[in-house]
Amino acid sequence: MPVKKIGIIGGRGFVGAELIEILNDHPNLELEFASSSSNAGNAIPGTDLTFIDVQPEDIKQFPQLDGLILALPNGQAAKWVQAVDQAGLDLCILDISADFRFDAGWVYGLPEINRQLLHGARRISNPGCYATAAQLALFPIRDMLAGPANIFGVSGFSGAGATPNPKNDPEHLKDNLIPYSLIDHIHEREISHQLGQPVHFSPHVASFFRGISLTIHLNFSAPINSEALRNKFEEFYQDHPLISVSETIPEVKQVVHSPTARIGGFHVDETGRHGVIIVVLDNLLKGAASQAIQNLELALGTGQSKRN
């Protein structure tokens, strides 16, 4: 199978670094370049390449690309898409920011839920980390819910990116837990939009580096017990090796540096109408970089790796 060539815009970020590491070890996808304006000229770890400063108008110099990953802050993607279109390049653009997650012209890349849409896709928007975790926990039971799910989320501070800000400031985070965007967080809108029903989401950032944990309270329209609830998930994910389902409560430590998500801790009260589930994943991997690679593998038809 021919190796597909991938460019990364935003290669010095936390997600960019994970993408580079995955591509260095990938049998069918090869890093062609990674851009960073602040790190231009510096070696890219694990490769013979150096970071280069690429601007949108330069993209026409890379007609050999099969895929372009945009790992930039929100609001930056459109100019790259426009430049690719203007250059007439036939490649798959995968955007890791939120810029196209509500755009019906783009495929929303959550492979355990909509894998068939990803085959041959040319424009993919990668879900947010909390949005990935919440949807993995809610899709299998969305027809059983009465009212909005209530999602309490805690993220390691890498979720706030490498560019300094109060949510990744070690001094501010020390011995602390910071609630933020408690109404109308972009992931609340994203989850509700994809799921087709409202959810309530309260994000927090903590002093550990990577990983997220979501505790989700649910109300059911008909009574169910814990075992039946767990069975629903086991059945739903039986053909998806990256999603594991456990009776016990999953913890962040079990998924960091791993492309997997764990769903567990299925508790339902005596009425059978109120339950809780927990989901954990690595925000930089299943919540960003490894999911991006899953999506590109499906879009470019490179065959499935251990990450799919």
Ligand X SMILES: NC(=O)c1ccc[n+]([C@@H]2O[C@H](COP(=O)([O-])OP(=O)(O)OC[C@H]3O[C@@H](n4cnc5c(N)ncnc54)[C@H](OP(=O)(O)O)[C@@H]3O)[C@@H](O)[C@H]2O)c1
Say whether 126 sits in a helix, a strand or coil.
coil
For ligand X, the closer CB: 146 or 162: 162
CB of 210 to ligand X, least distance (A): 8
Asked if 92 is an active-site residue, the reply is: no
Which residues of the chain form contacts with ligand X (CB under 6 A)? 10-16, 36-39, 71-74, 76, 96-97, 128-129, 158-159, 161-163, 283-284, 287-288
For ligand X, the closer CB: 53 or 227: 53
For ligand X, the closer CB: 37 or 304: 37
Residue matched to tokens 């108008």: 57
- Count of residues making up the chain: 308
For ligand X, the closer CB: 128 or 203: 128
Contacts of 296 (CB under 8 A, 6+ apart): 4, 6, 29, 67, 69, 92, 94, 124, 302
The phi, psi pair for 132, rounded to 5°, reads -60, -50
CB of 294 to ligand X, least distance (A): 14
Q: What is the Rg, in whole angstroms, of the alpha carbon atoms belonging to the chain?
A: 19
- Closest listed residue to residue 170, CA positions, set 158, 154, 179: 158
Q: Which residue is nearest to ligand X (CB)?
A: 13
Catalytic residue among 71, 121, 129, 277: 129
CB of 209 to ligand X, least distance (A): 10
CB of 126 to ligand X, least distance (A): 7
Other beta carbons within 10 Å of 64:
10
| Angle, alpha carbons 188-189-192 (nearest 5°) | 85
Residues labelled catalytic: 129
